[in-house]
Amino acid sequence: MAIKDLPAASTTTASDRLVEMSWDPITRIVGSLGIYTKIDFKERRVAECYSTSAVFRGYSIFMKGKDPRDAHFITSRICGICGDNHATCSVYAQNMAYGVAPPALGEWIINLGEAAEFMFDHNIFQENLVGVDFCEKMIKETNPGVWQKAEKAEAPNAAAHGYRTIGDIMKSLNPFEGEFYREALVVSRYTREMFCLMEGRHVHPSTLYAGGVGTVATVQLFTDYMARLMRYVEFMKRVVPLHEDLFNFIYQAMPGYEHVGERRILLGCWGSFNDPDHCDFDYRKMSEWGRKMFVTPGVIVDGKLVTNDLVKINLGIRILLGHSYYDDWDGRETFVSEDPLGNPVDRRHPWNMHTLPQPQKRDFKSNYSWVMSPRWYDGKDYLALDTGGGPLARLWSTALSGLVDIGYVRATGNSVVINLPKTALKPGVTFEWKIPKYSNTIERNRARTFFQAYAAACALHFLDKALECIRAGHTKTWEPFTVPKDAIGCGFTEAVRGVLSHHMVIRDGKIANYHPWPPTPWNANPRDIYGTPGPYEDAVQNTPIFEENGPENFKGIDIMRSVRSFDPCLPCGVHMYVGDGKTIDVVHSPMVFPDAPG
Amino acid sequence: MATVPKAETVVNVLWINAGLSCDGDSVALTAAMQPSIEEIALGALPGLPKVKFHWPLIDFSLGGAEFLKAFFDAEKGQLDPFVLVIEGSIPNESLKKEGYWSGFGNNPETGQPITTSEWLDRLAPKALAVLAVGTCATYGGIHAMAGNPTGAMGVPDYLGWDWRSKAGIPIVCVPGCPIQPDNLSETILYLLWQANGQAPMIPLDDCLRPTWLFGATVHEGCDRAGYYEQGDFATEYGSPKCIVKLGCWGPVVKCNVPKRGWIGGVGGCPNVGGICIGCTMPGFPDKFMPFMDEPPGGKLSSGVSSLYGNVIRGLRAITVKTLDEEPKWRHPGRELTTGYRPNWQR
CA B12 to chain centroid: 22
Q: CA-CA distance, B212 to B193, in Å (whole number)?
A: 16
Q: What separation, in Å, do the N-terminal and C-terminal C-alpha atoms of chain B show? A: 76
By the 10 Å C-beta count (0-12 exposed, 13-18 middle, 19+ buried), A331 is classed as: exposed
Q: CA-CA distance, B84 to B129, in Å (whole number)?
A: 6
Question: Residue A587: CB partners within 8 Å, gap ≥ 6?
Answer: A8, A9, A17, A18, A20, A38
Q: Are B204 and B172 in contact (CB under 8 A)?
A: yes
CA nearest A129: which of B17, B134, B68, B62? Answer: B62
For residue B109, give the amino acid letter. E
Q: CA-CA distance, A113 to B273, in Å (whole number)?
A: 15
Please give the DSSP secondary-structure letter assigned to residue A597: -
Nearest-Cα distance to chain A for B7, in Å, is 24
Select the more confidently predicted residue: B306 or A374.
A374
Instruction: For residue B114, give the H/E element and its range.
Output: strand B113-115
Q: Are B29 and B185 in contact (CB under 8 A)?
A: yes
Task: Kindly report the average pLDDT of chain B as a whole number.
Answer: 94
Tens of pLDDT, residues B286-297: 999 999 999 988
Q: Assign B44 to helix, strand or coil.
A: coil
pTM: 0.94
Predicted pLDDT at B7: 52
Predicted pLDDT at B345: 77
Q: CA-CA distance, B184 to B175, in Å (whole number)?
A: 9
Cβ <8 Å between B266 and A23: no
For residue A501, give the amino acid letter. S
- Give the largest CA-CA distance in chain B: 105
Q: CA-CA distance, B181 to A204, in Å (whole number)?
A: 13
For residue B293, give the amino acid letter. D
Tens of pLDDT, residues B116-167: 999 999 999 999 999 999 999 999 999 999 999 999 999 999 999 999 999 9
Q: Where are the alpha helices (DSSP H) in B30-150?
A: 37-41, 64-75, 116-123, 134-139
Chain B residues with CB under 8 Å of A560 CB are 62-63
Helices (H) and strands (E) in chain B, counts: 11, 7
Instruction: Give the Cβ contact number of residue A589 at 10 Å.
Output: 11
Predicted pLDDT at A30: 79
Question: Residue B260: CB partners within 8 Å, gap ≥ 6?
Answer: B180, B182, B183, B221, B268
Cβ <8 Å between B65 and A577: yes
% of chain B exceeding 70 in pLDDT? 97
Q: CA-CA distance, A182 to A200, in Å (whole number)?
A: 25
- Between strands A510-517 and A18-23, the pairing is unpaired
With bands split at pLDDT 50, 70 and 90, how would you rate the model's confidence at B34? very high
Nearest-Cα distance to chain A for B238, in Å, is 4
Instruction: Give the Cβ contact number of residue B231 at 10 Å.
Output: 19
Predicted pLDDT at A14: 42
The pLDDT of residue B1 is above 70? no
Predicted pLDDT at A107: 98
Cβ <8 Å between B26 and A79: no
The predicted complex's ipTM stands at 0.94
Q: Are B259 and B212 in contact (CB under 8 A)?
A: no
Q: Where are the alpha helices (DSSP H) in B54-202?
A: 64-75, 116-123, 134-139, 155-159, 181-195
- Asked whether the bond before A205 is cis by omega within 30 degrees of 0, the reply is no
**B contact test, residue of A55, A216, A323 with most B CBs within 10 A:** A55
For residue B148, give the amino acid letter. N
Q: CA-CA distance, B202 to B171, in Å (whole number)?
A: 10
Cβ <8 Å between B57 and A30: yes
**Taking the CA of residue A138 as centre, how many other CA atoms within 13 Å lie in the half-sphere pointing to its CB?**
25
Read off the pLDDT of each residue in B51-55 and give the average, rounded to a whole number.
Answer: 94
Q: CA-CA distance, B87 to A25, in Å (whole number)?
A: 15
Q: Are A299 and A498 in contact (CB under 8 A)?
A: no
Cβ <8 Å between B267 and A202: yes
- Asked whether the bond before B257 is cis by omega within 30 degrees of 0, the reply is no
CA angle A308, A312, A318 (to 5 degrees): 120
For residue A585, give the amino acid letter. D
Q: What is the pLDDT along chain A (598 residues), one digit of tens a residue?
A: 334 445 443 333 444 578 888 888 888 887 778 889 999 999 999 999 998 887 889 999 999 999 999 999 999 999 999 999 999 999 999 999 999 999 999 999 999 999 999 999 999 999 999 999 999 999 999 999 999 999 999 999 999 999 999 999 999 999 999 999 999 999 999 999 999 999 999 999 999 999 999 999 999 999 999 999 999 999 999 999 999 999 999 999 999 999 999 999 999 999 999 999 999 999 999 999 999 999 999 999 999 999 999 999 999 999 998 899 999 999 999 999 999 999 999 999 999 999 999 999 989 889 988 889 999 999 999 999 999 999 999 999 999 999 999 999 999 999 999 999 999 999 999 999 999 999 999 999 999 999 999 999 999 999 999 999 999 999 999 999 999 999 999 999 999 999 999 999 999 999 999 999 999 999 988 899 999 999 999 999 989 999 999 888 999 999 999 999 999 876 533 223 333 333 333 332 222 222 333 2
- Between strands B82-87 and B10-16, the pairing is parallel
Q: Where are the alpha helices (DSSP H) in A144-218?
A: 144-152, 158-161, 166-172, 179-199
Q: Are B120 and B155 in contact (CB under 8 A)?
A: yes
Nearest-Cα distance to chain B for A306, in Å, is 34
Chain B residues with CB under 8 Å of A214 CB are 237-238, 243, 246, 272-275
Q: CA-CA distance, B151 to B92, in Å (whole number)?
A: 5
Tens of pLDDT, residues B214-238: 999 999 999 999 999 999 999 999 9
| Cβ-based contacts under 8 A for chains A and B | 297
With bands split at pLDDT 50, 70 and 90, how would you rate the model's confidence at B298? confident
Predicted pLDDT at A11: 39
By the 10 Å C-beta count (0-12 exposed, 13-18 middle, 19+ buried), B6 is classed as: exposed
- Between strands B10-16 and A429-434, the pairing is unpaired
